[in-house]
Amino acid sequence: MLASRPAVHPIEYPPEATENPRRVRMKDVQGMGGTTGGLALRLCQFIFAAAALCVMASTDDFSSATAFRYLVAAAGLQSLWSLALALLDIYALLVKRCLRNSRVLCLFTIGDGITCTLTFAAACASAGITVLLGNDLDNCKVSQCIRFETATGMAFLSWFAISPSFFLNFWSLATK
Amino acid sequence: MLASRPAVHPIEYPPEATENPRRVRMKDVQGMGGTTGGLALRLCQFIFAAAALCVMASTDDFSSATAFRYLVAAAGLQSLWSLALALLDIYALLVKRCLRNSRVLCLFTIGDGITCTLTFAAACASAGITVLLGNDLDNCKVSQCIRFETATGMAFLSWFAISPSFFLNFWSLATK
């Protein structure tokens, strides 16, 4: 047989461009769910929200103002949510699982957005009334005013701690 | 020459995977900068913020409460920002240019975030005081109370209108 078989020249496939290099991807940024930074943020949120709840509930006449009652409710919801997610983070860290599922991220983002908005609204409303009573009307027992201010400050700190969680979850949901 | 040349079998390259199908991309979603939806949102923000400013400034004693003075300032800032971006949207629509530059998007997102937070805080503080005066203390002239409530409602509506702008800008910044 004269005709030789064609030689085989394997052609290498070009590497598949699975990633668009312009896009920013965040894999394991501290502060996201399932990281130690995320757990620290959740614990901060829980501690500040619980402190706001306890300090406000310990005043005699918090129930006389709607905004103060609302602060107690919002801080309660915030502390429950943050405690639940802190426990989930501890579990994820223990079993070394990543909490980056799209549905889970979507749920966390919506929950964080709602609790963040409620806590911030409660903190702002309480701050408005505390400033009105303490500065504008000068009609506030000193011991009470300090407690109102402390509870409001704690609610603001809780909001400061939940904002990074919300934005990191939103960002990783967008870049998913 | 007995040895034949190997036959050429062109191998088709697999189509390059330039886009990761799992990621969500938003090219021309109505509501983003440079779209008619975005312009409508900006105009809504401007109108509601300007209405809140005018109604609150028209009351006799808004300056007696810090939160009401703050609402006037925040609504003023919000209306200026929204008017500026509405004009920019009109320009972009007229010259058919797209406002998707990374730096521009970053600037819009930060500005929207700040004005959104300030307006929401002012609306919540005013709502807290309005409810305290109107419902809890029952110590409010009817004509005044209605104006306080109207201004607070307008500030909330302005916040409702600015939130989609902020989240759309943040989302397109993340997926850029």
Q: Nearest to residue B160, comparing CAs of A117, A129, A160?
A: A117
- Measured between CB atoms, which of B67, B121, B122 is closest to A132? B67
The 10s digit of each residue's pLDDT in B136-173 is 777 777 778 888 999 999 999 999 999 999 999 888 88
According to DSSP, the residues that pair with B32 across neighbouring strands are: B30
The 10s digit of each residue's pLDDT in A145-161 is 888 999 999 999 999 99
According to DSSP, the residues that pair with A32 across neighbouring strands are: A30
pLDDT band, residue A176 (cuts 50/70/90): confident
What is the model's pLDDT at position B72?
A: 94
Tokens of A69: 């009652």
Q: Cβ contacts of residue A8 below 8 Å, gap of 6+?
A: none
Asked whether the beta carbons of residue A125 and residue B120 sit closer than 8 angstroms, the reply is no
**Residue B112 CB coordination number (10 Å):** 24
Q: Which residues in chain B are contacts of A22 at CB distance < 8 A?
A: 176
Query: Does residue B155 contact residue B74 with C-beta atoms inside 8 Å?
Result: yes
Query: What is residue B29's DSSP assignment?
Result: -
Q: Nearest to residue B32, comparing CAs of B165, B163, B162?
A: B165
Query: For testing the chain B interface, which of A29, A68, A126, A132 should be mutated: the one with the most B CBs within 10 Å?
Result: A132
What is the model's pLDDT at position A112?
A: 93
**Residue B165 CB coordination number (10 Å):** 26
Q: Which residues in chain A are contacts of B101 at CB distance < 8 A?
A: none
Residue A26 one-letter amino acid: M
- Measured between CB atoms, which of A117, A136, A176 is closest to B23? A176
- Measured between CB atoms, which of A11, A19, A132 is closest to B66? A132
The 10s digit of each residue's pLDDT in A2-19 is 455 555 555 555 554 444
Asked if the ipTM is above 0.85, the reply is: no
Q: Which residues in chain B are contacts of A2 at CB distance < 8 A?
A: 2, 4
Q: What is the mean pLDDT of residues A92-108?
A: 84
What is the model's pLDDT at position A22?
A: 45
Residue B81 has pLDDT above 50, yes or no: yes
- Measured between CB atoms, which of B16, B132, B167 is closest to A66? B132
Nearest C-alpha in B relative to A132: B65
Question: What whole-number distance in Å separates Cα of residue B118 and Cα of residue B82?
Answer: 13
What is the model's pLDDT at position B171?
A: 87
